[in-house]
């Protein structure tokens, strides 16, 4: 079948043997609130085009923008065009663009404007009639959480949340999912009063990355890892998400959130759950959710949060060969701010598999380089028939799963150095996505948007996971709030000294990616 006017047999981007994204969405539209924001421009609109370019959207697919702008439909089309040209992953093709653009609509208004939502209702009804969208509409809330009640209330009031017959209505919620447990529950109450659980999709874009999904493949498709994936052989696990940039123009958002809420509560705890979970019955949403929830519910906080957590704030320093200012020097950041730009915590999982194995999670801005990785660090062999000098260059065996930017995995082990002496040194066996596969990986938002349109939720955390994550993080945030300023660390290094001291107390040290 031709999709968006493209013959799949002649489309080099739609390989029939490509099994990564084989399913095609049915008739539908996507309505984006906050369509003028960076997320929409850099990720959402390019992802929609890339899906169309791959033949994964139906011929009548439609994209509706909602924002407080005095735009006509053609103005909105130009905005999408510019975003696609600058940020799309796949090459621009005029015939695909022209077919896609026929379904563009724009509705001006703000979130309290009843007339605007009535225009939106008429717009989606018109799409059902002239584009064949069949009453199937997804509403993407790419807006701050404080506006969720307004928009969801308007969707309900104007009958936009209710589907007829076999058609569907879905809502997509971007993180943060609240700022603590209480607000997360309030947010869930607001959403659940209008949309049933199966119609709510909470976006964590990290879960859409190919390399995150590869954690599941690495663990469960290879028998070599399962026998040692436990506390008998694993010494500890380090999960790192480091950025070399500062906060940019996000002062208003970031200073009210901080590193722990921004990254640990969602991305890193989800990564930990994937690493630590038991075998799911299958990879359907319900099975994955059960196993991840078991992990999060089994997390044990350290008794002494002062010794087993660390937080910092970047100060002036050198990043990428350029002298940069500190967090308190950033525009619109108050000089008294106690918001952390670096956070590290030590957790344990109280299960038979992981008893006694610490999981160290860290994230920060203005660190040594941009990298996200999961490092499973193994115990040293209980008896080595070597002298200390023969193994002084030998570290721990490790399996490192690189999420970004150098996607792949590295297995580190000891090998003999060539020569007559018995000298053992660390060597790496490396797998890189770019070298192993000729096709490029879809962007996370491509996968996630397609899953929304398909109604397939395995990569989306449910409200139970969100609440369990806040139960882990809330006591840590509360402790930090009562204990003064975060420690300053120069930009360009790997965080505050307290983070190194936290691991040193356990006789361990952080990896330097």
What residues are labeled active site? 267
CB proximity list for 318: less than 8 A, separation 6 or greater: 324, 490, 491, 492
- Distance CA(322)–CA(366), nearest Å, equals 12
- Distance CA(461)–CA(212), nearest Å, equals 14
**Burial class, 12, CB count within 10 angstroms (exposed 0-12 / middle 13-18 / buried 19+):** exposed
Asked if omega into 405 is within 30° of 0 (cis), the reply is yes
Residue whose tokens read 């359907």:
284
- Distance CA(294)–CA(292), nearest Å, equals 5
C-alpha distances out from residue 350 to 110, 181, 216, 346, 359, Å:
48, 22, 21, 13, 11
Instruction: Identify whether the C-beta of residue 18 lies closer than 8 Å to the C-beta of residue 414.
Output: no
C-beta atoms surrounding 163 within 10 Å = 15
Relative to beta strand 408-416, strand 200-203 is unpaired
Instruction: Identify whether the C-beta of residue 147 lies closer than 8 Å to the C-beta of residue 110.
Output: no
Beta bridge partners of residue 425, listed in sequence order: 393, 415
- Distance CA(238)–CA(403), nearest Å, equals 13
- Distance CA(169)–CA(162), nearest Å, equals 7
CB proximity list for 316: less than 8 A, separation 6 or greater: 323, 324, 325, 326, 329, 490, 491
- Distance CA(324)–CA(318), nearest Å, equals 6
* Cα–Cα nearest to 359, from 418, 394, 407, 309: 309
Tokens of 249: 């123009």
Tokens of 144: 């701050």
Buried b (16+ CB within 10 A) or exposed e, 86-111: ebbbbeebeebbebbbbbbbbbbbeb
Instruction: Identify whether the C-beta of residue 442 lies closer than 8 Å to the C-beta of residue 210.
Output: yes
3-class DSSP state of 36? coil
Angle between helices 444-454 and 45-53 (to 10 degrees): 80
Computed on alpha carbons and rounded to an integer, the radius of gyration of the chain in Å comes to 24
Phi, psi of 138 (to 5 degrees): -110, 135
C-beta atoms surrounding 82 within 10 Å = 12
Q: Is the dihedral of CA 442, 169, 138, 104 positive or negative?
A: positive
Tokens of 168: 């569907």
Would you say how long the chain is, in residues?
513
């Amino acid at each position: 079948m031709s999709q968006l006017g493209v013959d799949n047999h002649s489309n080099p981007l739609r390989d029939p043997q490509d099994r990564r994204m084989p399913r095609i969405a049915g008739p539908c539209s996507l309505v984006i609130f906050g369509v003028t924001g960076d997320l929409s421009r850099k990720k959402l609109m390019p992802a929609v085009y890339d899906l169309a370019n791959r033949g994964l959207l139906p011929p009548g697919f439609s994209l509706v923008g909602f924002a407080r702008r005095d735009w006509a439909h053609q103005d909105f089309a130009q905005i999408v065009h510019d975003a696609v040209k600058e940020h799309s992953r796949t090459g621009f093709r005029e015939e695909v663009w022209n077919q896609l653009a026929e379904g563009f609509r724009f509705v001006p208004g703000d979130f309290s404007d009843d007339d605007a939502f009535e225009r939106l209702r008429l717009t989606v009804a018109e799409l059902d009639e002239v584009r064949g969208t069949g009453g199937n509409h997804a509403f993407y809330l790419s807006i701050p959480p404080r506006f969720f009640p307004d928009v969801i209330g308007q969707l309900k009031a104007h009958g936009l949340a209710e589907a007829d017959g076999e058609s569907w209505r879905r809502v997509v919620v971007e993180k943060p999912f609240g700022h603590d447990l209480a607000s997360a529950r309030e947010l869930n109450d607001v959403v659940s009063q209008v949309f049933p659980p199966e119609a709510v999709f909470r976006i964590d874009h990290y879960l859409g990355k190919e390399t995150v999904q590869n954690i599941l493949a690495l663990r469960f498709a290879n028998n070599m890892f399962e026998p040692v994936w436990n506390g008998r052989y694993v010494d500890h696990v380090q999960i790192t998400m480091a950025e070399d940039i500062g906060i940019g123009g996000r002062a208003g958002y970031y200073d009210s959130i901080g590193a722990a809420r921004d990254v640990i509560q969602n991305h890193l705890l989800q990564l930990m759950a994937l690493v630590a979970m038991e075998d799911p019955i299958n990879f359907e949403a319900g099975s994955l959710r059960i196993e991840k929830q078991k992990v999060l519910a089994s997390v044990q906080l350290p008794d002494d949060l002062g010794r087993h957590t660390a937080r910092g704030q970047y100060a002036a320093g050198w990043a990428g060969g350029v002298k940069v200012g500190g967090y308190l020097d950033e525009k619109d950041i108050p000089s008294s701010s106690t918001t952390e730009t670096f956070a590290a915590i030590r957790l344990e999982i109280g299960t038979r598999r992981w008893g006694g194995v610490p999981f160290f999670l860290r994230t920060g801005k203005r660190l040594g380089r941009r990298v996200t990785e999961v490092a499973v660090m193994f115990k040293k062999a209980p008896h080595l028939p070597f002298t200390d000098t023969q193994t002084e260059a030998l570290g721990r065996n490790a399996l490192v799963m690189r999420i970004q930017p150098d996607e792949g995995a590295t297995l580190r082990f000891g090998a003999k150095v060539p020569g007559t002496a018995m000298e053992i040194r660390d060597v790496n066996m490396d797998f890189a996505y770019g070298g192993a596969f000729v096709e490029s990986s879809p962007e996370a938002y491509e996968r996630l948007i397609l899953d929304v349109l398909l109604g397939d939720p395995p990569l989306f955390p449910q409200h139970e996971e969100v609440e369990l994550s806040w139960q882990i993080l809330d006591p840590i945030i509360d402790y930090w709030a009562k204990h003064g300023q975060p420690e300053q660390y120069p930009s360009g290094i790997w965080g505050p000294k307290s983070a190194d001291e936290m691991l040193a107390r356990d006789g361990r040290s952080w990896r330097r990616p």
